[in-house]
Structure 1
Amino acid sequence: MNEKKQIRVGMIGYKFMGKAHSLAYRNLPFYFDTDAIPITQAISGRNEENVKQAAEKMGWASYETDWRRLIERDDIDLIDIVAPNDSHAEMVIAAAEAGKHIICEKPLAMTVEQAERMLEAVEKNKVVHMICHNYRFAPAVQFAKKLIKEGRLGKIRHIRATYLQDWIMDPNFPLTWRLRKDVTGTGTLGDIAAHSIDLARFLVGEFTEVVGMMETFIKERPIGEMTGGLSGKVEGGEMGEVDVDDAAAFMARFENGALGVFEATRLAGGNRNGNRFEINGELGSIRWDMENMNNLQVYFDQDEHGLQGFRTINCTEEYHPFAGAYWPAGHIIGYEHTFINLFTELMNGIATGKSPEPNFVDGLKNQKVLHAIEESAKKKSWVEIERS
């Protein structure tokens, strides 16, 4: 029996996404027989007390207080970047030049130019790379892709997608890094609409042009910081300007002729994580809702009259992508399993030397759509997507 290749992981950052990634690395070998297995070698964070506690709690063998030192270590094969957006480019390029494989949280970069340099760096240094769009890896979304690829929906005509959250509705929620343009690039657009864009590209195809609008409803907030998850802590009485969007909406055209309508906001009361889409083709339709992530609603126009309508498929059977690694049919999985599924592809990719999708090519294409939406909102007109 061949001994599996061990991939020693170094993770930069350790809070919300760090927790999700750590759990996935720990649980992956329990469910999947991959060509390589992850070893949680070290994490990095600026606050020594906090990063030490995180390493102990989440099962990392060691820690660093300087991400550069983490990248320099000889006992690290893969760099996992879960730090804020403004640091992605510098970290990715340094990791690539050090010959490390890389997985980076979304959005890939702050600008198209940064994303281009990051892609150039990983390709030049021949390292495996992925971007962490985990929603692609819900079994129901993978099954939707399978149905579309098989032609079960026929030619795709429409996608309408919404990503609705409500965690910053309180005007006293602090001005954390996710609400500061110098750190995050954009607000709702890059934070959650980026997921809708990636899902649309995955399921429907490439964008050709967009027209959009963006709005900031709460213009200033008390200065504060993130405290884990999507919560925050006010640091004092000082107020600061909110210079990113609270909401974004846009329409799109795709290379295959399909039309798209998209909306994203973090001010939609009652929506904790309302990541949803509906796709209509000439032969049928599909619907998906992250808050009910195991189910895919499917409609086929060729069903007999009187019995037509959306049916609900619980995508937990061995027939459904990734689902067979978990529990018997009907025993549902959750959010954390989307990361396990993604990292399964990453481990196999590193073992074979091939970058699985979504990788930095996808990250750059997503970045170009984000940029075009920003430009459209400023110009109040349609903007074509820059071709690669």
Structure 2
Amino acid sequence: MAIIKIGLIGCGGITAPHVKGYLRIPEQAKVTAVSDVVAANAEKRAQEVGGAEIYSDYNEMLAKADIDAVDICLPHHLHKDAIVAAANAKKHILCEKPLCLTVQEAEAVQQAVSANGVTLMCAHNQLTMPPVAKVKQMINEGVFGKVYEIRTTDSFFNSFDPKNIGWRGNRSMIGGGELIDTGYHPTYLLLYLASSEPVEVTAMLSKHRLEFMDGEDSAQVLVRFADGAVGNIVTSWAYVPAAITEKFSIVAEKGNAYSYGSDLFYKLQGGEPKKIELSGVDTFAEEIKDFVTCLQEGRRPVNTEAEGINVLKVILGAYKSVEEKRTISLSDLV
């Protein structure tokens, strides 16, 4: 099977775990080109991968480099243009979250990917967590019956201050606040476990501690799904959550399940509580391997632009819900 040649678009901090992932599968992939407007960043990544062509402009890299796919690790507001340019250059795409920032950008992404017949995978690394994969399997097999409610969380004490927050402190660049950044993880996790289209969103945003931010530092979001299930997202940069706070939980017709991010706990009606012990993984490395394997096998990624757009719409719906103080129908988003 041919080795997939990768071009990095953006060589900042988030690129480090991506590079580590590629280095773990040298028989499947190799980073052959890197691009960044900051020369030192590009040079650092090129050195880490054992040598790669260096570009200051990703458009030049797309035109000249010998690559099959790109890995986009740019600030949020730059994602759409990079995706469209890569798709038009017939390169497959792995893009860090969020997919983009507006419904209009999402439509442009969808059109470019479809028109050029390329594969786009959203970099939703938490889907590779073993408890997530296991509970998803059990849901699909009907172990729990109809799912009633799902809760996902991702909160921690973030040490951001005005001196180190960078572009994330600017609403126009990040696309909002914490919800569209770290909060993106529990949002895509919620939609993955729901297995139904999100249709309505109600939200409350807070600025508990990081007052200098343009956007929120915390969010709680309720999501109604087409099959009647209800989801709850809790996410924050403001605090360390209580020790009992689960990573995800589901309550369903035949029982319930939850995880703190490692083992999976579940209980069926009339049965005893059970624990499935699971080994930890490097979620970024697993994500990278899955992307490359999808390209080699011609397989559809778990989360393509279609799933990425649904995640984005939930977040945009949450922002609109707060702005208009009402429940938002996602079909009305424009």
TM-score (norm: length of structure 1): 0.80
Spell out, residue by residue over 1:198-244, the C-alpha distance to the aligned partner (whole angstroms, 9 max, x if none): 111111122111111112345754xxxxxxxxxxxxxxxxxxxx211
Per the alignment, residue 254 of structure 1 pairs with: 225
Q: Which amino acid aligns with 1:384?
A: S
1:148 aligns with 2:139: yes
Shift of 1:106: 0.7
Unaligned stretches of 5+ in structure 2? none
Paired residue secondary structure (1:287): strand
2:28 counterpart of 1:28: no
Indicate the structure with greater strand content.
Answer: 1
**Cα gap change, 1:149 to 1:259, in 2 (>3 Å):** same
- Sequence identity, in percent? 28
Letter paired with 1:127? V
Work out which of the residue numbers 307, 318, 323 in structure 2 matches 1:362.
Answer: 307
Cα distance in structure 1, aligned partners of 2:135 and 2:50: 35
Task: Write the deviation string for residues 318-376 of structure 1: whole angstroms up to 9, x where unpaired.
Answer: xxxxxxxxxxxxxx333xx2223223332232224443120111111111111111110
Are residue 281 (structure 1) and residue 271 (structure 2) matched? Answer: no
For residues 260 and 330 of structure 2, what CA distance do their matches in structure 1 show?
A: 27
Residue equivalent to 1:333: 280
Aligned to 2:275: 312
> Which of 48, 54, 75 is equivalent to 2:45?
54
Does structure 1 residue 380 correspond to structure 2 residue 325?
yes
Structure 2 residue corresponding to 1:7, chosen from 4, 12, 16 = 4
Q: Does 1:134 align with 2:131?
A: no
TM-score normalised by the chain length of structure 2 = 0.92
Moved more, 255-264 or 212-221: 212-221
Output the CA distance in 1 between the equivalents of 2:120 and 2:126.
Answer: 18
One-letter code of the match for 1:177? Answer: W
Cα distance in 1 for partners of 2:287, 2:127 equals 8
Higher Rg of the two aligned structures:
1
Deviation of 1:105 (Å): 0.6
In 2 relative to 1, CA 124–156 (structure 1 residues): closer, same or farther, beyond 3 Å? same
Partner residue of 2:270 out of 302, 305, 311:
302
How many residue pairs are counted as aligned between the two chains? 331
* Aligned residue number for residue 73 of structure 2: 82
Q: What RMSD, in angstroms, separates the aligned Cα atoms of the two structures?
A: 2.2
- Amino acid in structure 1 at the alignment position of 2:132: V
Partners of 1:173 and 1:313 lie apart in 2 by: 44
CA distance in 2 between counterparts of 1:346 and 1:275 reads 28
Partner of 2:97: 106
Mapped contact 2:168–2:177 kept (Cα < 8 A): yes
Segments of structure 1 that go 5 or more residues without pairing to the other structure are: 31-36, 222-241, 316-331
Deviations 1:288-307 (A, max 9, x none): 223xx3x111222231xxxx
Aligned residue among 159, 169, 179 for 2:169: 179
Give the conservation status (yes or no) of the 8 Å contact 2:21–2:289.
no
